[in-house]
Amino acid sequence: MAAVQDGPMELDAEKEAKPEILSDGTSNLSGNTASGTLSSSPLTAAPAGGAPKMEDQQTLIAVLQFLKRNKLSESVEILRREAGLGEHQEGSQATDGSGGGKGDGDGGDANSLLSRVSITSAAAPQSMPVKSDCIINIFRCDLPFMFMLSEDQPDVSVVLSAYSQQGDPPLYQVYYSGLKNFIESVLDCHRAELSQLFYPLFVHMYLELVYNNHETEAKAFFDKFSGDQECYYQDDLHILCGLTKKEHLKGNEVLLDFRTSRFVLHISRDSYQLLKRHLQERHNNQIWNIIQEHLYIDIFDGMPRSKSQIDSMSGSLAGEAKREVNKAKVFYGLLKEPEIEVPLDDEDDEAENEEGKPKKKKTKKDSLGSKSKKQDPNAPQQNRIPLPELKDSDKLDKIMYMKESTKRIRLGPENLPSICFYTFLNAFQGLTAVDFTDDSSLLAGGFADSTVRVWSVTPKKLRKVKSAGELNVIEKESDDVLERIMDEKTASESKILHGHSGPVYGVSFSPDRNYLLSSSEDGTVRLWSLQTFTCLVGYKGHNYPVWDTHFSPFGYYFVSGGHDRVARLWATDHYQPLRIFAGHLADVTCTRFHPNSNYVATGSTDRTVRLWDVLNANCVRILTGHKGPIHSLAFSPNGKFLASGSTDGRVLLWDIGHGLMIGELKGHTDTIYALKFSRDGEILASGSMDNTVRLWDSMKAFDEVETDDFTATTGHIHLPDNSQELLLGMYHSKSTPVTHLHFTRRNLLLAAGAYNSQ
């Protein structure tokens, strides 16, 4: 699509009209070489006289036709009214601009449209008149329609987001080198920030060349500049260098999303002014156009960031997170525990009273709930999301839990937990998922041969319920009927569950130990009963491998995440998901519930961790900073903090309330697949493919966080490099990668992994 000043406008072909509008718009933007005014000014069309005026009219008519065709009558009226008032180029330009922004992803956020337009208007000294607001209002009220349309007419959205030709292909190298030279010449303090531009610009320019079928130029461009990029983007560059043709782009969803979503950069105002001034002085500021179209620059007032600060936050596929995204209120407190009367049981109790435990003499109330009678302001309402009521068996479980917790060992830097390692022998690298029940009585393993095996960790064997015939003859009124219904003849230490047709990548026990969930490469999540050891339900929804699944801490709900880039919230009694958490740019590899069951954290291959609200599936936090796909997540028991581990060997600690990174634990040399906080949150254990389990002092890591106003608003924190101090212990296994970690109720650490004989 060559950018021609008086490009032909075929109004009969609506679809072509749209890209024509885009190229038209950009031709207006780029065509301004004569005047020294800002090229992005919408009024550049004016000096050209009659021809652009006609063009804008045609543009308006084209837009009108498009809206009419898609039955957006309201917008048609408004546009007709506004446009009928006169040929204001601002209006048409804004239409182009907003039209161009239409294809951008992220749910058609009107804010992003506005911000984009406001960046444009910041460039133009003349403020955008009311026209632009009207046009934006049109699009805002019809946004839902727009996106349903893009479903019926995928070509349109693709076309809208298509790359228009920004200039001569061979000149791309010139532009890029020009920018490089400029950035190398600025002051040190700005250089680090402006260097963030290199990677997104490089990728977008390369993809543009590929998309417009300039294969040789693309290859030359890639060869020349790929070496300059940051080391943590190497994996992406590998994928890119295999993409040389337009057809290659079609199947690659991740890159398609990259093209349509906007890469977010945080740049301080001073650096941004420098950049803007430089780019707008030049005659051919293609780079400025690309920045406007594909990048989102979140400007903050304050000191420019240092390289290390930037490095710690960057690395994700979509850049960093916009600041306003992380501003929503998150109720990270725990739900109040129900009051349960615990019957006195003298022979079980310890002789001495540990601190914080209620005295033996009176009936024990639930020590966790009674401390604060009033509502924790950070905790969600009890009925914010419907939760299952407590059954009698649940109450008994809770009593057991409280009894066990009185015997819990208090861990700390001087008091490290003992680690008991469960090694799976003869698994031949087929062990793909492990889970323990909360009371550590059962262990489940998911395997690459599509079986799930359940073992009993205690001497008590696994029993299943008798068959219907035998159940008829037992005495139903006896006291131990619950034991009588169990079949002694087939009691065994382990049971095998068959049913999946692909490797099982995630297993999760329900809190009441009645159910087991398993998610597999065949796209289904299966619910197994642990009383009959048979499969009860297969939940079909993801049609692609499901990488992880997790039961809610109160049962009934579970979440699953897979290759289709979404996580789904299910309830055991609905065959379809209740919520769909869409937003990640690449596969969702890890899903975890928050202890209060109101939020779900998902880690993804796009190197971000997102926190979703169960109530309305809004994404309330986007946490960037990892340099590789995230494979493990762990919430602290008090619900305030989240730890995440990825293939880059780092564990990052996040404060959920503020959405800030508060710690970075370096030390592992390979992917971290297991993360667990101890029962009181004092110690974080991490297990990785490098055959080690490391223990970190999380109390200290969380204490050292100071959040002043600046960090709270901008999210830029300076992390102390204290991984060595926080490391409390490192334990090697002989050659067994650690797949799962679990703290028992008494704070004994259990680890599981499959022996790897190579």
Binding site for another protein (CB under 8 A): 105-107, 144, 147-148, 150-151, 154, 157, 234-235, 238, 241-242, 247, 250-253, 256-257, 260-261, 385-389, 468-469, 472, 499, 514, 527, 529, 534-538, 543-544, 556, 563-566, 571-575, 577-583, 585, 614-617
Nearest distance, CB of residue 364 and another protein, angstroms: 27
> Using the 8-state DSSP alphabet, how is residue 455 labeled?
E
- CB distance 9 to 55 below 8 Å: yes
| 444 SS3 class | strand
Nearest distance, CB of residue 534 and another protein, angstroms: 8
Q: Is the Cβ of residue 422 or residue 557 nearer to another protein in the bound state?
A: 557
Nearest distance, CB of residue 415 and another protein, angstroms: 40
Q: Is the Cβ of residue 227 or residue 251 nearer to another protein in the bound state?
A: 251
- CB distance 25 to 96 below 8 Å: yes
- CB distance 530 to 514 below 8 Å: yes
- 329: closest CA among 384, 288, 396, 264? 384
Q: Give the integer Cα–Cα distance in Å for 390 and 405.
A: 20
Nearest distance, CB of residue 669 and another protein, angstroms: 15
Give 253-258's long-range contacts (Cβ < 8 A, gap of 24+). Answer: 253/565, 254/317, 254/585, 254/586, 254/605, 254/606, 255/207, 257/105, 257/565, 257/585, 257/586, 258/203, 258/207, 258/317, 258/318, 258/585
- 692: closest CA among 727, 653, 654? 727
* Non-local CB neighbours of 366 within 8 Å, separated by 6+ positions: 337, 338, 339, 340, 342, 398, 402
Q: Give the integer Cα–Cα distance in Å for 152 and 143.
A: 15
Q: Is the Cβ of residue 256 or residue 727 nearer to another protein in the bound state?
A: 256
Nearest distance, CB of residue 615 and another protein, angstroms: 7
Q: Give the integer Cα–Cα distance in Å for 597 and 522.
A: 27
Q: Is the Cβ of residue 240 or residue 310 nearer to another protein in the bound state?
A: 240
The token pair at 67 is: 């809206």
Q: Is the Cβ of residue 258 or residue 654 nearer to another protein in the bound state?
A: 258
Q: Is the Cβ of residue 142 or residue 564 nearer to another protein in the bound state?
A: 564
The token pair at 656 is: 């959920």
Query: In Å, how far from its chain's centre is CA 374?
Result: 33
- CB distance 556 to 538 below 8 Å: no
- CB distance 366 to 338 below 8 Å: yes
Q: Give the integer Cα–Cα distance in Å for 332 and 280.
A: 46
Nearest distance, CB of residue 332 and another protein, angstroms: 20
Sign for the CA dihedral angle at 179, 250, 158, 109 comes to: negative
Nearest distance, CB of residue 28 and another protein, angstroms: 27
Nearest distance, CB of residue 325 and another protein, angstroms: 15
Q: Is the Cβ of residue 581 or residue 654 nearer to another protein in the bound state?
A: 581
- CB distance 145 to 70 below 8 Å: yes
Q: Give the integer Cα–Cα distance in Å for 651 and 70.
A: 49
Nearest distance, CB of residue 533 and another protein, angstroms: 13
Nearest distance, CB of residue 505 and another protein, angstroms: 16
Nearest distance, CB of residue 531 and another protein, angstroms: 9
What's the per-residue H, E or C state across 586-650? CCEEEEEECCCCCEEEEEECCCEEEEEECCCCCEEEEEECCCCCEEEEEECCCCCEEEEEECCCC
The token pair at 641 is: 């903090």
Q: Give the integer Cα–Cα distance in Å for 542 and 713.
A: 38
- CB distance 404 to 368 below 8 Å: no
Q: Is the Cβ of residue 212 or residue 598 nearer to another protein in the bound state?
A: 598
Q: Is the Cβ of residue 394 or residue 404 nearer to another protein in the bound state?
A: 394
Nearest distance, CB of residue 572 and another protein, angstroms: 5
Q: Is the Cβ of residue 114 or residue 256 nearer to another protein in the bound state?
A: 256
Nearest distance, CB of residue 234 and another protein, angstroms: 8
Q: Is the Cβ of residue 502 or residue 538 nearer to another protein in the bound state?
A: 538
Nearest distance, CB of residue 530 and another protein, angstroms: 11
Instruction: Provide Rg for the chain, Cα atoms.
Output: 29
Q: Give the integer Cα–Cα distance in Å for 751 and 242.
A: 39
Nearest distance, CB of residue 99 and another protein, angstroms: 15
Q: Is the Cβ of residue 46 or residue 241 nearer to another protein in the bound state?
A: 241
Q: Give the integer Cα–Cα distance in Å for 615 and 449.
A: 37
Q: Is the Cβ of residue 13 or residue 471 nearer to another protein in the bound state?
A: 471
Q: Is the Cβ of residue 129 or residue 388 nearer to another protein in the bound state?
A: 388
Q: Is the Cβ of residue 284 or residue 514 nearer to another protein in the bound state?
A: 514
User: C-alpha angle with apex 391: 404 to 640, nearest 5 degrees?
Assistant: 55
